Structure formats: structure tokens, C-alpha cells
Amino acid sequence: MQDTQQGLDVRRLAVLCLSEILEGQRLSDEVIERRPDVAALEPRDRAFLRAILMATLRHAGEIDTVLAEFLAKPLPRKAGPARQILQTAAAQLLFMDVAPHAVVDLSVRLAKADANATHFSGLINGVLRNMARRGHEALARLGGARRNVPDWCWQRWVRAYGDVAAASFAESRLEEPALDLTPRADAALWAERLGGVLLPTGSIRLPMNHSAIEELPGYSEGAWWVQDAAAAIPARLLGDVKNMSVLDLCAAPGGKTLQLAAAGARVTAVDKSAARLKRLSENLVRTGLSAEILVGDAERAAADRLFDAVLLDAPCSATGTIRRHPELLMMKSEKQIRDMARIQARLLSAAALRVRPGGLLVYCTCSLEPEEGIDVVRDFLVAEPRAARRPIADGEAGVEAAWLTPEGDLRTLPCHWPDADSRMAGLDGFFAARLSRI
């Protein structure tokens, strides 16, 4: 009885979290981390909840298409959480090794416990029983990962990168990414202690196992911090920053600030979110590093000062992070991408004003969209005669030739860094351009 109740509680929380993610347009990690009822779960149950959510989000298009085949008509708005119950149940039946009778029984119980969904408990029972019998057959007819990418996004990727690359992006979204760490120092030593792989870019890669990050060796003494390997490259493009003044704009959650401080730079970190900067402050204390922290708008903060180097990690659509945040494609639109590109252009122009003559400026985004990367830099260089591109060289900062554009900018893709072990493959999609102030 206790195990059944625990299973019911975990699935109820999964349904609540899914609703909050999709209806509240919130990232899954934020939702999971902020809920005290999730934190109160046993580690095994918390891992199962996360597995349900990730399977539901990664395969959302396939799940909705299969559900439509078994539903005579769409559920009405007043069905309460009935749709989320069906979606999470479908994820368990189609993509997880969960006993069908448990999925059906507990899903029906969830529906009966809700004042609105209870009216659809019979429907849920019938749909899931049919899916348990014929769901995999229906799934096989769909064509795989392509179904999980909205048409508007798929067409953009095909235009920018071609059919093969677009398909690889869609496939990468189905895989749980590795855990990448940036060491403060002694990278080879910590790779050995953690049982990880030291990547040519300087990051340490571990298979994701969902154990508490805080329990890994080196965490308490601040020997490393979590940071995707691609996200760790832009700061390294500034070269030797020891004793240099560096402005880190849009700095939170702070991985690049920590990198620069560990390399000996005098860092000023700016972000408009005081809450996100609080996390940076905590990590500075944990790692024993220091930086000046300013809460403010990136267009105006520290505008009266010139720096040896400026790093701008501009806010963007974040489509390059779909391996870690599969829900993003369900929250974005082409209009948002165009709107973000205008903001990025303003921020880049403002950032350039704070670079001393002869200094460096690195502009980067975690987006796959050309409008948020190379297009912004192209237009900026046309309008700003006092700036020039400083091409990135093959091998510099561990960068591979395949990651460089013809102009010498960085362009990592989710399909980069293949590995026979899929748990150790891939990178976030990142764009970075290195510029100099003439």
C-alpha cells in the first residue's frame, strides 16, 4: 500500500510540474528545484519524477500524435489535469520500462482525485488500455524525433543547416546530456578523482546519474562548478586575462565570471536579476574567488568605465540548450527570436562602448538561430567602424575546425562531439564572435 501511495504521489507531482512548465512557461529545472514537495521526496522517487517529466517533454510531439489517434476528440478546457495525466502516462507506456497495469491504475486514480478530471477517468482508462496494446505500433508509424520539433523551428533549421543536421538536432534532444564541469584548477587531477573525461576544451565530462551534485568530490571545497562544455569556451577566447579588467555582461548564473576570476582577471559581473546574482555570490564564496557584482541593466551598468575586455552572453531564445531543456521549443516562436535579435543588437553596441582601444569583446548566445548570432555581428561590424573581427583559430581553446564558420566565429551544434556512448556525446549549440576595439 505504501509503495502504491508513493507511486501515486510521484505521478501527481509529475502532472503538477508538467502543468506549471507548459502553462507557466517555466524551465523544468526551475520548477523541480523550487517545489518543496518535490524536495521532500526520497531520492529514488525524485529521480523517477524527473524521468517522467523528461520523457514527456522530450517526446511531446510523438505523445500528442499518438494520443490523438486514441482520442475520438480533443479534451475540453474544463478537463482539469486530464491531458497532463494522459501525457505523463503515455511517456511511461511508450518510452519507459513501467508496468502497463501500474500506469493505467494510478493514472485513473489521479483522475478520480481531481474534481474536473474525475469525469474523464473512464476515458483515461480506455485510452491507456488501448495504448498499452497498440501504442508502440502507432508510434512506429510517426517517423521518430522529427515529430517533436515544431514545424516553424524545423523549417528554420533545414534552411540554416540542411536536412541531415536538422534531423541530428532533433535526435540529440531525445538524449540526456552529460554533466560538464569547469575546474578551478588542476583539471587532469579532478577528472581522475571524479572518474570523468578531460575534454580538449578544458571541461570535465561525467555521465549524468542524477545523484546530488553537492555529494560529488570537490564540490564543498569549490574545486569546480557545473557548466556545459560549449558554454565554457567563450571566456577562454579572451586568452590570458590575468590582471586584466573584464566586464561580464548578463553574467548570471555565473559560470563565465567564475572562469575569468579563476584565471586571475579583475571581474565586474552585471546582471539585472538580483536573485540569479545571489547564486553567483554563493558560488564565489564556495570557490574562494572574488568579483565585483552589480545589479543593473546591461546597456547602462558600468557605462562610465572602460575595460580591457568585455564578455557579453546575450539573452536569447536558447534553442541551443534543447538537450537540457527540451521544453524550450514549446515555449518559443519566430517572433520571439526576431524580438530577441533586436535586443542583442542594442546590447552589443552598448558593450562595445565599454571596451578600451585595443581591447577585446566576445559576443555569444546559446542559440542555433542565425538571427541571434552571425547576423547580429555582421550588422554590428557594418555599423561600427571602430570594431573588427578577430577570427578564432583551429585548435585555440580546444576548438575544432568543424566548429568554426568561414568568418572565424564559433558555432557549436548539438550533434558535435560524437561518442560511441551517447551519454558522453554532444554539445550545447553556441555562437561566439571575438571582436577588437580599434
Tell me the pairing of strands 179-183 and 204-206.
antiparallel
Catalytic residue among 17, 153, 316, 366: 366
pLDDT at 1: 37
What's the CA gap between 235 and 201, in Å, rounded? Answer: 11
pLDDT at 143: 81
Provide the residue-wise pLDDT of the chain in tens; the chain has 438 residues. Answer: 345 777 899 999 999 999 999 999 999 999 998 999 999 999 899 999 999 999 999 999 999 999 999 999 999 989 999 999 999 999 999 999 899 999 999 999 999 999 999 999 999 999 999 999 999 999 999 888 999 999 999 999 999 999 999 999 999 999 889 999 999 999 999 999 999 999 999 999 998 765 678 889 999 999 999 999 999 999 999 999 999 999 999 999 999 999 999 999 999 999 999 999 999 999 999 999 999 999 999 999 999 999 999 999 999 999 999 999 999 999 999 999 999 999 999 999 999 999 999 999 999 999 999 999 999 999 999 999 999 999 999 999 999 999 999 999 999 999 999 888 888 999 999 999 999 998
Reported residue count of the chain is: 438
pLDDT at 258: 98
pLDDT at 2: 40
Mean pLDDT of the chain: 95
pLDDT at 421: 86
Could you tell me where in the chain the CATH 1.10.940.10 domains are found? 2-147
pLDDT at 3: 58
pLDDT at 5: 79
Q: Is 366 one of the annotated active-site residues of the chain?
A: yes
Question: What does residue 255 show for φ and ψ, rounded to 5 degrees?
Answer: -60, -40
pLDDT at 383: 96
Neighbours of 361 (CB within 10 A): 25
Q: Convert the pLDDT of each residue in 360-383 to its tens digit.
A: 999 999 999 999 999 999 999 999
pLDDT at 211: 64
Tell me the pairing of strands 387-389 and 430-437.
antiparallel
Burial, 188: exposed, middle or buried (Cβ in 10 Å; 0-12, 13-18, 19+)? exposed
Which of 149, 111, 116 shows the shortest CA–CA distance to 127? Answer: 111
Question: What does residue 137 show for φ and ψ, rounded to 5 degrees?
Answer: -65, -45
Could you tell me where in the chain the CATH 3.40.50.150 domains are found? 179-437
Cβ contact 257:269 at 8 Å: yes
What's the CA gap between 295 and 313, in Å, rounded? Answer: 16
C-alpha cell at 3: 509503495
Cβ contact 173:145 at 8 Å: yes
What's the CA gap between 22 and 111, in Å, rounded? Answer: 19
Q: What is 2-147's CATH number? A: 1.10.940.10
Q: Can you name the CATH fold of 179-437? A: Rossmann fold (3.40.50)
Residue type, 175: E
Cβ contact 233:430 at 8 Å: yes
β partners of residue 435: 361, 389
Which of 231, 164, 232, 180 shows the shortest CA–CA distance to 429? Answer: 231
Per the omega criterion (within 30 degrees of 0), is the bond before 36 cis? no
Angle, CA of 25, 28 and 30, to the nearest 5°: 90
* Residue entry with cell 536558447: 318
Residue type, 217: P
Q: Convert the pLDDT of each residue in 125-162 to its tens digit.
A: 999 999 999 999 999 998 889 999 999 999 999 999 99
Q: Convert the pLDDT of each residue in 59-79 to its tens digit.
A: 999 999 999 999 999 999 899
Which of 254, 237, 238 shows the shortest CA–CA distance to 291? Answer: 254
